[in-house]
Structure formats: structure tokens, C-alpha cells
Chains A and B, each alone.
Chain A
Amino acid sequence: MKADPKGVLTGSHYLDGDYAIAEGALAAGCRFFAGYPITPSTETAERFAERIPMVGGIFIQMEDEIASIAALIGAVWGGMKAMTVTSGPGFSLMMENIGLACMLETPLVIANVQRGGPSTGLPTLTGQQDMMQVRWGSHGDYEIIALSPDSPQECFDLTIKAFNLSEMYRVPTFIMTDECVGHMHEKVVIPPAEEIELVERKWYTGPKDKYLPFKPDKDMIPFMVKVGEGYRFHITGLTHDERGYPVINAECQNKCVPHLVDKIKLNAEKIIEFQEDETDDAEVVVVSYGITSRVSIRAVQQARKAGIKVGTLRLITVWPFPERRIRELAGKIKAFVVPEINYGQMVYEVERCAAGKASVYHVPHCGGWVHDPKDIFKVIKEAAK
């Protein structure tokens, strides 16, 4: 289906990443935003609050981040598309109901404009330290989808993509950006509504008394309905059967959990997107994402000038992780270099997939600013030896 022109601000704009996320959400048909102010993400909430009255929908500032994501779950089962935005401390508070959203197979979008942590950390300064939290932060086994934009334009584009993926797989989907991209102003081109392709929710249309909220369809994804349409459905955060009724035993757990994991795992190749440059003859491949991929460009240029055969792989989808591609590359190259603004997170995934076939070098940075390209260059040089 095409986007509703009401929410699409077609034209060429000068926006920061936070604003671009709000515009992406409106273009994607999101009409419900519940949030709590937190630096450096607040501008998304502000933009949405300003724009939504004219588009038609709800902005509500909740009492905390726990309530924000809880309200999203209610609004989505009420039939709307919904999103929230936050940063580290708020993200930690959301973990409980991210688990509920996964368990209820609720499509919704959460943007995390990352800042330096732990705890209150660096409210106004950048970080990429929630990359593992987004994957593992709520208790239990589940899978999510996470995307990482590297520019305001991509904040817009990937927010639409995040809504589409979340509807397609009935799963919470995350935009894992950071303070630098969130506050970076660049040109953002918003296409006409008829050029924006949206995925419609998989609505159930069968007999009212036969609806099963968790019965997987052929593509593994169950159908959805809205509250208030006479289905009299029940859903619970407890381990449940296809009817949504709680069943507290190992047998049911062994159906419920594998379904949550497999619907993403088995579709991973369809979900995963990355950008690869000059990897054909590369001996070293720099794997990065978000703002760090832009900082890496300088280091890579310098390395090439120095005669090092270096390519790049930029993660656009961070989760599910592009395991297959990393494995293939590991068999061909000498080493991976992984710069990220944390003390080692996605590098462990690269290491796992490289499985000893290629060396893996981490370029850590504990936040507050981006890497000095020289530091990345030095590691590329060492890795190429």
C-alpha cells in the first residue's frame, strides 16, 4: 500500500536525524507517539507533538518510559501504528515491556538515540553502547530487528523500513542511532507519498469466533485484529498457546519461544541489509555502523593511499546480524577491523562468525566523541601486516 499523503512532508529539507525520524514515522502512517523526554532524543518527540495535530493522531507525554512503551502496545492492539524514542536510561526502563511486545508479537518501533553510558553517563554526547542491550536486554529468549542509520536521510528512510519490517514480522523494531546522527543536520529528501511503499498489517478477516492471535500462518506470522471489533480475543505475557491462553508447562514453552525466535532467524536473509565497498580484493574489511561508518571512511581512504587493500562493510541491519556474509568474507580475507563507540559489542558477533578464519581487531571508544580516524587507520595498518 502507498503512504497517506497527509503525513508525508514531500520536498527537500534541512533536518537533523531526530526530526527525520519523526518525519519517517509520519510518512509510514504512525499516528500514535507516547514518550518521555530524554536527551539526545527529545527532538523527535517535539517534532511529532508539533506535527500530529494537523495530521490527525495522538501525541502523549507519559509519566516515564515504562508507561510510554506500555501505551504503544495498547495503541497497536487498538489498531494504530505507534512509536517512541528514547536514549540509554529510558531504554533500560523499557526493557520489561519490550519483552511483553515480543511475547505478544506486537509490531511497534522504538528509536534509541544513543548516548554515552553506563547510568546517566553522557546525556549530550554520543555513544554506541546499547547495541547488545537491544538484542538481549529483556529477559528470556526472543529476537528483534534493529537498524542503524548513518545520516538524517537514512533516519527518515530506515524509520519507514522499520515500520514495514515490524508489521511484516509482528516484532518490535529498533532504530539504533546515536547523538551524532540524531543532531546532525543534512539534506533530507522526502519523496511524494505515492513513491513510499508501506506494508499493511496482516489483518484477520475470518469468522469472529475462530480468531487465534498466535496461530502462525504459512509465513510463520500470525494474523492481527483490533480491540473493539467483536473478536473477544485474549492475549497474555505468560507462555501461551495459539488462542493466547496461558499454558504453564515446558511443552507449550517449547512451541511459544522457538516461534518467536524462528520467525526472525529463518527470515534473516530477507531482513538483512548492508553496504559493501571494495571488498572484492580486500585483505582487510572494516565492519562498522552508524556514525562510526562515516568516521571510518577517512581512515579507509588513508589506508588505500598507503597501498593497503581495504574494503568496508557497513551494517544497516544490525540485528539479525549478517552472519552468512561475515563467514564468507572470513574465508577470503586476512582480518576484520571493527571500530565502534563502545568497549566491545558488535565485535563479538564478528569474532563469532569469523570463527578463527580471519583475525578480528577491535577499535574501542568509550563514548563522548567519535573516533579519531588516525586511530582506526593505525589498526587497519596493523591488521594488514
Chain B
Amino acid sequence: MKEEDRLEERNPIEDFLRMDRIPHIWCPGCGIGTVVSSFAEALRKSKLNLDKVAILSGIGCTGRVAGYVKLDSIHTTHGRAIPVATGVKLANPELKVVVFSGDGDIVGIGGNHFIHAARRNMDLIVICVNNFNYAMTGGQVAATTPILANLSTAPYGNFEYPFNLPYLAEASGATYVARWTALHLRRVTKSIQEALEHRGFSFIEVITPCVTLYARRNRLGDGLNLLKYYYENSEIQHGADTRTLDISYQGKIIVGKFVHKQKPTFLDCMNEHLSKVLGNKYKPYGVSHD
């Protein structure tokens, strides 16, 4: 259909999406799309040159984000978006490099890459959509599933301790850490904006409804019921001690911005150290020498 023949008003988010790939594959009531909207809004507000922003995803429902966003975008293998992003960033230090993926991808199979990129304070923005389960494969238990939640590979309920992601991120060395739910759209947008401005490893966890699998299997109702749960049980505590942020089944969710501090990035450390040791023999990498 030609643009001028369209009856409906043009949505401003279209500028940020590959409209030739819409409709997307996400289920009704899924929270991933809302996080993408927040991301697009954050990009719009940031006034960044979008040619200089790259997005990478791994595998899974959230792994599809890179395919829908109209930026240079790489859909990688399961759990490996962070190391691929590390390569992109180091090849082009002037870029903003965003990893947008799910909990299973980033802290399940990709957990090792996650902690090491945080340790290096690699200048990346990691947005982790946490829906408490492996949704693309049909709702299996994850490293983030609250104890007692029922999933297809935990048919009698989960008994493993889940990760507390902000604590993991901070302990590993992340210099920006926030957690929100899909209900906190404006705050997610603001966090992404802050992360886009931040130099260093930024981590934003967004807890989202998975209606088709997590909610249905646990008889938690539809998307609206889950948003009500977030509304009634989430509590904003900026600067909270990340050790206290465990999430129990249908329990309280502490959200907020927990860490925001300045620390030299991987490239800062490399350039500073090598300049000190090697003197004039070393020309700082990724810095204009004009």
C-alpha cells in the first residue's frame, strides 16, 4: 500500500522500525514490544545520529528485536550477542552498541559473556527482557524463574534459586544498573536514555509478561492481570542495595536505578595503561590523532 493511501495516522515509531518486517512474531499481551517502543522513544529523545547506533540480539523471543529495529543490526547465536557486540564496539569505538535480548540468552547460556563484559566495563548497553522463562521454545524453566513457578521442564514447580540480575551485574562490574517492569514505560525510556549517555557497561532489566506460556501455565491470567500484579507489587527504591533484590513467586518486585557511577571503560584502561608503559611508541586506539 502506498503511503498516501493509508487511512491511519503514521506512528512516529515507524521511523525506528523495519516496517517491511511488520507484523512481528510476538504474542498478544507480550511485553517485548513495549520495551522496543521505549527503546525507540529513548533513541528519538537522545538525538543521537542513528547511523552510529548498532543493535545486536541473541536467540529467543527478545532475540528477534534486532530484526525489527532499523539500525545496523546483527541477530547472532544463542547467548553470544555480547561478545559479538564487543567486537563491533572495539572495531568502532565511536558507536553506541546495544545488546537487546532475553534472560535465557543473556544470563542463561550467555552468562559467562555477561559477567566478563561487565567486569571489563565494556562500553555496551545491555537491555535484558526478563519474562522468567524460555518462551521461544515453549516455556521452559530459566535461570530467572522464581521458586515454585511451574514451567514445562519444571512440571512440579521450580526449586532452583534464580539469579538476582541487578546484584549479578553490579558484582560483575556494571557501572549503570536499573530494573523496571513493562508497566514502567517512561522510566524504562529514561533509563535507556541515561544508558545511551553513560560510558561503560550499562544493564537494564525489564520484567515483562509472557502471557502465552508463563502466565497461562501458572494460571496468572492475561497481560492486564500481570500488569496489575506489577502495579500492586512493584516498589521503586532508587539506590537500593542490589543484594536485596531477589524476586519470589508473585512477590514484591523492587525496581529503580541502583547503580550509576563513572569508571574508566575497557578502552580507557587500555589506552591509559599502554600510554604509560610504552610512552610515545603507543598511539591511543580509537582516538582521533588529527
Interface residues of A (CB under 8 A from B): 32, 34, 53-54, 56-58, 60, 62-64, 66-68, 70-80, 82, 96-97, 99-100, 104, 226-238, 245-246
Contacts and interface: CB of A to CB of B under 8 A. Distances in A.
A46 B68 CA distance: 41
Given A56-B283, A66-B80, A226-B92, A34 B87 contact: yes
Query: Interface centre among A56, A66, A67, A100, by most B CB within 10 Å?
Result: A67
Q: Which of A76, A77, A78, A79 has the most CB of B within 10 A?
A: A78
Contacts of A234: 18, 66-67, 73-75
A70 B82 CA distance: 9
Interface stretch (B5-13, B130-138, B216-224, B274-282): B274-282
Contacts of B164: none
Nearest to A60: B90
B91 interface: yes
A377 to B, nearest CB: 47
A71 B116 contact: no
B90 A78 contact: yes
A58 B21 contact: no
B234 interface: no
Interface in B256-290: 266, 274, 278, 281-283, 285
B278 A230 contact: no
A238 B21 CA distance: 15
A70 B83 contact: yes
Interface residues of B, number: 42
Contacts of A71: 83-84, 86-87, 90
A32 B85 CA distance: 14
Given A77-B74, A78-B95, A232-B50, 10 more contacts: A32-B87, A53-B274, A57-B285, A60-B90, A70-B76, A73-B76, A99-B77, A100-B76, A234-B74, A237-B76
Contact of A232 (B21, B71, B89): B71
A75 B87 contact: yes
B72 interface: yes
Decide if the interface of chain B is mainly helix, strand, loop or mixed.
Answer: helix
Nearest to B274: A53
A34 B83 CA distance: 10
A79 B54 CA distance: 14
B91 A32 contact: yes
Interface string B43-80: 00000001110101000000000110011111111001
A74 B91 contact: yes
B51 A230 contact: yes
Contacts of A66: 80, 83, 113
Nearest to B75: A236
A96 B58 CA distance: 13
B225 interface: no
Nearest to B273: A53
Given A53-B274, A236-B75, A82 B285 contact: no
A75 B83 contact: no
Nearest to B77: A100
B88 interface: yes
B94 interface: yes
B153 interface: no
